[in-house]
Structure 1
């Protein structure tokens, strides 16, 4: 009986460590996708940036040029951030919300939540939500 219990504990710990490793891998992959898209924007490479968008975003904007124009107008802190810092992740079904803090050209820090979805074995950006100002008074 002791051997069965010990084997069960070993298997349970192995499963936990495997799940933790998978979560850490997903975190790194998500951060890499967002970072790569930001780098593409910095280089005005809208084709590459558009490639990191999920199918729903690609259907909405149809072309990399339309997508790039929307980001330039609506998300200047994403288009040309001074700094980028990754925050917490929140699991929502198979998707993950990734908090990202970006400082814009004027030095203002913005909090954005990226909705990351798995598509075709890789993570894609399905939405970006700008959150209320970090220094807003109640």
Structure 2
């Protein structure tokens, strides 16, 4: 019985330490945050979408509704993607800055690549510092 209890405790500790390592992985944290922001855009949830913006973005767009209008106008494939998947990522300075590709199939059938720049904040959280979106001219479709 004691052996069973010891194995059970070791399994629990192993799972919890694995979860802690995942939570600290800057690339996984970045991807989870980007996905949450895209979900917020799909629900037209300006509050949640704006909450992921870095202080520099919030300084340029101090009102969530102005930010949301800008995204709708200038980043339509990000605002309402037809489909998306994470591409390559790059971590700089042990996760202080993350560059994350998001491959997007727009609702209009055009393919795009969004390159997110995500910065670690002083409190350890990650915020979206900017997005560059470019048409993916190489796509041949399915």
Q: Which bin holds the TM-score, normalised by the shorter protein? A: 0.7 to 0.9
Alignment TM-score, normalising by the size of structure 1: 0.77
Counterpart CA distance in 2 for 1:110 and 1:116 is 19
* Distance in structure 1 (CA, Å) of the matches to 2:24 and 2:104: 22
Q: Quote the offset at 1:23 in angstroms.
A: 9.7
- The runs of 5 or more residues in structure 1 that have no matched partner are 1-20
Q: Cα RMSD over matched residues?
A: 2.0
Is 1:109 the counterpart of 2:118? The answer is no
Paired residues, number: 117
Which residue number in structure 1 is paired with residue 131 of structure 2?
128
Moved over 3 A (4+): 21-24
Runs (5+) with no aligned partner, structure 2: 1-20
SS at match of 1:130: strand
Contact 2:82-2:107 within 8 A present in 1 as well: yes
Q: Distance in 1 between matches of 2:110 and 2:24?
A: 30
| CA offset digits 1:61-118 (Å, max 9, x no partner) | 0111001000000000011101110011112332011011111111111001100101
